[in-house]
Every structure is written in structure tokens, then in C-alpha cells.
């Protein structure tokens, strides 16, 4: 009897910059076979074919397919949803919520239909609210619906710390909690440079500046690009989560998960440290917070509740 097992299957919904870059990172890491789905099936098919044609040069063995038919995603192990519209000038938060809720709901329902046992990673914005939409649309347990924001915010913060200290990014360890962007909860007390606490190396006013830049990291890139938003780091962050799952690495990463009383928060998605493995969410290590950190985390949870309440008000 053969012991050969099939390759993991990773489906990415949305073939825009973030989605196609997710496919690129996943293929380059040879994490499994990849399916790229988009409402524009030819664009997804073209990008998938282009990526597959790079495999002889780069030396990765990953089958890459694309299209608009969700049947291609059947029996995926992990599905990443990047689909959704960015907020445009003149568009209110309610408009964005309404538009992306509809998109993510449809995507999630199709995912559940063809891959009822997958782990679902949400990248679409507004992230925490879209996690609630996906959870309700799929009926999945909380262990299998996880939002990507904390890995990205943490990567930005670590990058800026490395610049400030003029050291390798490999020697900076740290994380952020809470929501994405303005409600991000920085944790400089737990950030180290080569094992040395950041607070011993950098003055508080400079740390505050680094935190502020991390909070506005996405906006800084939007301002520079003029016609788009970040995609290399967001895609890389999502694929770090995918890798932890398909390789059952038991990584401790900051991710948005549905809290059930942890940190005093009930039934809301919020960014915390989680253990990620083959089953998805496999544990939530509880961190000691000081009064300031607890206050920021509470405000972050309240912001998520505001979004969820808005969706209820809009009948979403």
C-alpha cells in the first residue's frame, strides 16, 4: 500500500495584485498546488499560466490553475479570500461594508460548497468585519476562519525597528495585536533586537514614532503608489499563515480570530497571538498586558463591535 500523499491544495479567491502575489509566494515556497479564482476568469487563467511557466526556471513543482469556476477549488486544504473593492474617494464606510460584505459572502458560500473542511484565511477589508461575514456564510467553527492583519502590521513594525536600529530584520522579533491600522495595539515591551528589549535600545519618543508609522503603513504606500495599495507584504503575510497550516508548523502568529472570552472579549474577531497548525486555530496563548495595553485593546475591540453593529443596522 502506497504511503504517498497528495500535495496540499491552496485556493486563492481574487486575482488582483494581492491574490496573484499570494499565488506567486505560495508557488515559490512550493507549498502545494494552487488555484486562482476571479470573477474575470480569463485574467485568473492567464496569471496562473504565466506563473506556471516560471516553474521550469525557478524550479518549483506546483500545479497552478486559474478560472472563474469554483469547482476548480474542490477539496482545498486552505483558501485565502482577497476579493473585495478598495475604499474609493467619496465612498462611505457603510458603502464599503455593504459592497464587500456581498462579495465576501458569495465567495465564502462557494468555498464552503466545494471545500467544507478547509481553513479559511480572510484578507479582504474591513478585515475584522469580513471575518464575521465569512464565519456566518460558511457555518465553519471559529478554528477555521482566521483573519490576516496582525502578521502584516507586525512585519511593518519589525521593518521600521530594523531601520531605526540599523540591524538585520532577522534579528528583530515583535508583534502587534488588535485591529488593523488606526486601532492597532503595539507591543514594544515584547519587542526585541537580538534578544535585547527594544525599550533598552530606543528612546520612547522614537518608539512612538515607529508605532505611528506602522499604524499608517498602508496609507503611506497608497500615497506613494497614487493608483493602488500595498500587495507584496500583505500577500507574504497571508502565505506565512498558509505555510503554518499546510506544514502543520504550530507557529505563534498574530491573527484575527473569534474570541470567546479571551482577554475579556466575547464573540468578536480581534487580533491576538494564536497557534496555527493543520487544524487552523489550535490555541490562544494569553499575554499579560499592562493598563495602557489593556485600554488600547479594549478600544480596538470596541471598533470591531462598531463595524459589526453597522452591518446589523444595514441588514448585512
**CA-closest candidate to residue 128, choices 158, 104, 154:** 104
180 annotated active-site: yes
> What is the CA angle 303-304-307, rounded to 5?
95
- Write down the catalytic residue from 45, 144, 180, 251: 180
- Positions marked active-site: 180
Amino acid at each position: 500500500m502506497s504511503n504517498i500523499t497528495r500535495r496540499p491544495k491552496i485556493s486563492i479567491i481574487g486575482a488582483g495584485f494581492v491574490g496573484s502575489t499570494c499565488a506567486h509566494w505560495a508557488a515559490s515556497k512550493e507549498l502545494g498546488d494552487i488555484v486562482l479564482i476571479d470573477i474575470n476568469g480569463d485574467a485568473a487563467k492567464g496569471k496562473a499560466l504565466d506563473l506556471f511557466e516560471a516553474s521550469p526556471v525557478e524550479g518549483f513543482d506546483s500545479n497552478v490553475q486559474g478560472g472563474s469556476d469554483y469547482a476548480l477549488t474542490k477539496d482545498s486544504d486552505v483558501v485565502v479570500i482577497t476579493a473585495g473593492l478598495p475604499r474609493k474617494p467619496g465612498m462611505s464606510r457603510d458603502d464599503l461594508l455593504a459592497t464587500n460584505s456581498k462579495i465576501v459572502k458569495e465567495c465564502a458560500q462557494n468555498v464552503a460548497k466545494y471545500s467544507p473542511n478547509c481553513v479559511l484565511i480572510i484578507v479582504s477589508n474591513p478585515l475584522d468585519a469580513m471575518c464575521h461575514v465569512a464565519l456566518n456564510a460558511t457555518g465553519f467553527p471559529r478554528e477555521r476562519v482566521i483573519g490576516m492583519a496582525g502578521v502584516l502590521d507586525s512585519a511593518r513594525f519589525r521593518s521600521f525597528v530594523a531601520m531605526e536600529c540599523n540591524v538585520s530584520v532577522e534579528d528583530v522579533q515583535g508583534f502587534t495585536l488588535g485591529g488593523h491600522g488606526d486601532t492597532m495595539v503595539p507591543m514594544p515591551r515584547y519587542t526585541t533586537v537580538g534578544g535585547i528589549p527594544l525599550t533598552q535600545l530606543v528612546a520612547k519618543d522614537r518608539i512612538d514614532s515607529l508605532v505611528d508609522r506602522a499604524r499608517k503603513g498602508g496609507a503611506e504606500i497608497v500615497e506613494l503608489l497614487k493608483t493602488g495599495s500595498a500587495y507584496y507584504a500583505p500577500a507574504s503575510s497571508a502565505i506565512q499563515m498558509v505555510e503554518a497550516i499546510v506544514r502543520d508548523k504550530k507557529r505563534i502568529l498574530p491573527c484575527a480570530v473569534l474570541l470567546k472570552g479571551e482577554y475579556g472579549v466575547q464573540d468578536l474577531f480581534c487580533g491576538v497571538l494564536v497557534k496555527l497548525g493543520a487544524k487552523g486555530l489550535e490555541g490562544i496563548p494569553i499575554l499579560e498586558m499592562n493598563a495602557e495595553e489593556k485600554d488600547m485593546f479594549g478600544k480596538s475591540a470596541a471598533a470591531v463591535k462598531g463595524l459589526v453593529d453597522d452591518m446589523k443596522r444595514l441588514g448585512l
